[in-house]
Amino acid sequence: MSTLVEDNPAKHRFEILVDDALAGFTAYLPRGEVLVFTHTEIDPRFQNMGVGAALVGGTLDELRERGTAVVPRCPFMAAFIDRHPEYADLVTREP
């Protein structure tokens, strides 16, 4: 199973492709240098396969490289960050 996480700025979301099929996304609202994440959704065909974790982890890795902070209003992303404290430094308050 090959995965690719990429930003789709036109739709304000990061998407994950699994074997070239859209498997899910995490939506955001851009607020200057901060992205406010509001919702994460994984296609039912790809649930319970680690795709959600791969999506959020890949998204946060990309944002770390960019120097972008996040506000995890999405419960899935917030829980992921709680379980992976190495990403806690990316979290900021809503601008």
64-90 confidence digits (pLDDT tens)? 999 999 999 999 999 999 999 999 999
3-44 confidence digits (pLDDT tens)? 999 999 999 999 999 999 999 999 999 998 899 999 999 999
Tokens encoding 31: 């607020």
**pTM for this prediction:** 0.95
Residue 95 pLDDT level (bands cut at 50, 70, 90) = confident
Burial letters 77-95, b for 16+ CB under 10 A, else e: bbebbeeeeebeebebeee
